[in-house]
Amino acid sequence: MSENKPVVLVTGASGFVGRHVVPALARGGWSVRRAVRNPEGGDDEVVIETIGPETDWGAALDGADAVVHLAARVHHKNEEHAVQLYRNVNIAGTLHLARCAAAAGVRQFIFVSTVLVHGRSNEGRAPFSENDVLTPRGLYGMSKAAAEAGLRTLARDSDMKISAVRPPLVYGAGAKGNFVLLTRAVNLGLPLPFAAIRNQRAFLAVQNLASFILHRLGHPDPASNFEIFLVADREQVSTPEFVTRLAEASGKRLRMFSVPPSVLGTLLGALGRQDTYDSLVGSLELDISKAMATGWQPQVSLDEGLRLALAAQDA
């Protein structure tokens, strides 16, 4: 580690977002210490096997100026039976890390939360903003909302600056979930039943998330110890438009046909996939004016973000 650079500890450094955030922070002048579960042989890593209420963060936080907390329990195949797991990792684990960071003299703590603390859709309402009353859905969204509440309380009794970032679907090279499923469908030329969908959704290129985190570390708010930010690409588009732009970025011919959204809802509901229906058919618009008021601007456009994602997959 360079003595001339501030040190930032990044949890979840080997995950999808972490693999983009770490080099962005390094390019931005930070000495990055990567918290990883499995050793990868780098001299910049510290092994943290599990994140929970009793994790020993001593060595990881020694000399650190900032923490970027990306690690979280995101999905579990038997979610209804995993309540304690979500509590241990996403709530108790996050708050224990934050308390340890504050005690170690860390000046800034960035917590990557989720837009799901607002719910899955703002259909018929104004775009979500940071001041909305939260209506989280699912164990993941509820656990992130609880962690945010705990961090807000911690910030009142601490000198550490805490920022909670609420991203929508993050796409890029190495992404999982709905983005990789859509990419595979487009690449295979599968016909997609999205043509009749009329919605507006926010998406976030992983490069734009990384750039906001870097910007926030360099521009903490001197007047507040706790701030929340909704962050997304500048352009918010419909599901069929997103898929069309994805096909254009991949150079594939898109095959899309119309199925009434009500029929899609019935089919997906019968399969127990209401969350998939919400993410495909529902609107999820975000007001990102607060993030942009800090001086941050999205680095890449939607089209450029998609091209970067696909180019890296083809490399």
3-class DSSP state for residue 232?
Answer: coil
- pLDDT of 314 > 70? The answer is no
pTM of the model: 0.94
Q: How far is CA 53 from the centre of its chain?
A: 22
pLDDT at 155: 96
**Which amino acid is it at 300?**
V
Pairing type for strands 203-205 and 226-230 reads unpaired
pLDDT at 162: 98
Percent of the chain residues past pLDDT 90, beyond the cut = 79
CA angle at residue 242 from 188 to 70, to 5 degrees? 95
Domains and CATH numbers, the chain: 7-175+202-235+284-300 (3.40.50.720)
| pLDDT, tens digit (0-9, with 9 covering 90-100), for 275-297 | 888 889 999 999 999 999 999 99
pLDDT at 81: 63
Q: What is d(CA 274, CA 258) in angstroms, rounded to the nearest whole number?
A: 19
Percent of the chain residues past pLDDT 70, beyond the cut = 96
Give the mean model confidence (pLDDT) for residues 107-126. 94
CB-based contacts of 84: which residues, under 8 Å, 6+ apart?
none
pLDDT at 83: 86
pLDDT at 271: 75
Pairing type for strands 226-230 and 31-36 reads unpaired
Catalytic site positions:
140
| pLDDT, tens digit (0-9, with 9 covering 90-100), for 198-223 | 999 999 999 999 999 999 999 988 88
